Chains A and B, each alone.
Chain A
Amino acid sequence: MTTEKPNLDYIKELAGGDSSFEQKFLDIVKNEFPVEKKEYLDCLNRRDNNATAEIVHKLKHKLNILGLHDGYRLAVGYEEELKCGDYKLKDDFLSVLNVIDNYILTI
């Protein structure tokens, strides 16, 4: 179970006080994340190794943006393992996704 907490440090630094950019960016994350998470779970249920690795690749970028660096490192390893059909990190990865799920409800 992850103890790392998401944050908006990177987004705020990038925005540099530009609140319209910050809001636009957060809207993208809030809109895309649930869709990508669902796509991930669908691929996982199908045990489609390559498709699951692809969507993990996409999701890992959002982990980085939200300051989840341990989660990002986990995703990097998971993506590689998925390409070989190894799903042993799926529970750890899902717990990271659930943390983001809860977090985006608060922003």
Chain B
Amino acid sequence: MNCIIVDDETTARAIVSKLCSDTQDMNVLEEFSSAIDAIKFLNKQSVDVVFLDIHMPTFTGFDFVETLKESPKIVLVTSDKELATQAFEYENIVDYLVKPITQERFNKSVVKITNALNNQTIINSAENNKPAKQNNELFINIDHRLIKLKFDEILLIKALGDYINIKTEKEDYKVHTTLKKIKEKLPQNTFIQTHRSYIINFTKIIDIEDNSVLIAKNVVPISRSSRPELMQHLNLLK
């Protein structure tokens, strides 16, 4: 089996590389400290397995999985135990290793990889490597708890670096994810991105001015490029 290792920590890469070298038929083609470099590599060359860290700066392991066009089998290698729930939403993720990895646990993972490569289903997931879709709600991970939010409770979502702030009518929630990822989970007939840092529930709009929209007590900017799309969604009396 050919594999690559993607982790921004040198020690973590050294550990996985050593475990692979001690495993028969596990050949490490390359190691990457950057997920972007790994994607460039995978665009040119296919591999059987990617050992992938989740928590990396600028581009997370989940971003990586969602970016790949044809994903190899993925083994997540992380110290974030609480992200396991999210990992199980992707069909190509065959295992989830918590650091520091032992040889014994790694060996079990190799069995899972082998089985997965032999087309045995290890992890049930949603269709075609996409997160499972919910009908009217979304579960968010806050302090190790999965909290259900109904779409019609959400007013707007704002990007905050590595986090997003979800404003609802009752409460605000800070979640470690990206605007791009949550946008994929939201119904397009209700939510629209009005600015690179904002997604709004346009059923909650109170009024619109030239370059801003009022939602509850929040003034949200509208970029010039997103304004035509927003206007299309409105039932406008001309």
Mark A residues whose CB is within 8 Å of B.
10, 13-16, 18, 21, 24-25, 28-29, 32, 50, 54, 57-58, 60-62, 64-65, 80, 83
Contact = CB atoms under 8 A, between A and B. Distances in A.
A64 B99 contact: yes
B100 A64 contact: yes
B18 A14 contact: yes
Nearest to B79: A61
Chain A interface, >50% SS class: helix
Nearest to A57: B55
Contacts of B8: 58
A58 B100 contact: no
Given A13-B103, A14-B103, A57-B55, A28 B11 contact: yes
Contacts of B22: 16
Contact of A25 (B11, B163, B174): B11
A15 B143 contact: no
Contacts of A21: 14, 18
A10 B100 contact: yes
Nearest to A18: B18
Nearest to B176: A83
Given A54-B57, A80-B143, A61 B162 contact: no
B18 A28 contact: no
B11 A61 contact: yes
Nearest to B102: A13
A57 B54 CA distance: 12
B79 A57 contact: yes
Contacts of A80: 143
A58 B9 contact: yes
Nearest to B100: A64
Q: Which 4 A-B pairs have the closest CB atoms?
A: A64-B100, A28-B10, A28-B11, A65-B100
Contacts of B99: 61, 64
A54 B79 CA distance: 13
B166 to A, nearest CB: 15
Given A64-B79, A64-B100, A15 B18 contact: yes
Contacts of A15: 18
Contacts of B162: 50
Nearest to B11: A28
28 contacts: A13-B102, A13-B103, A14-B18, A14-B19, A15-B18, A16-B22, A16-B103, A18-B18, A21-B14, A25-B11, A25-B14, A25-B18, A28-B11, A29-B11, A32-B10, A32-B11, A50-B163, A54-B57, A57-B79, A58-B8, A58-B9, A60-B79, A61-B79, A62-B11, A64-B79, A65-B15, A65-B100, A83-B174
A61 B200 CA distance: 38
Contacts of A16: 22, 103
A60 to B, nearest CB: 6
B14 A28 contact: yes
Nearest to A36: B9
A80 B174 CA distance: 12
Contact of A61 (B9, B19, B163, B176): B9
A14 B55 contact: no
B152 to A, nearest CB: 28
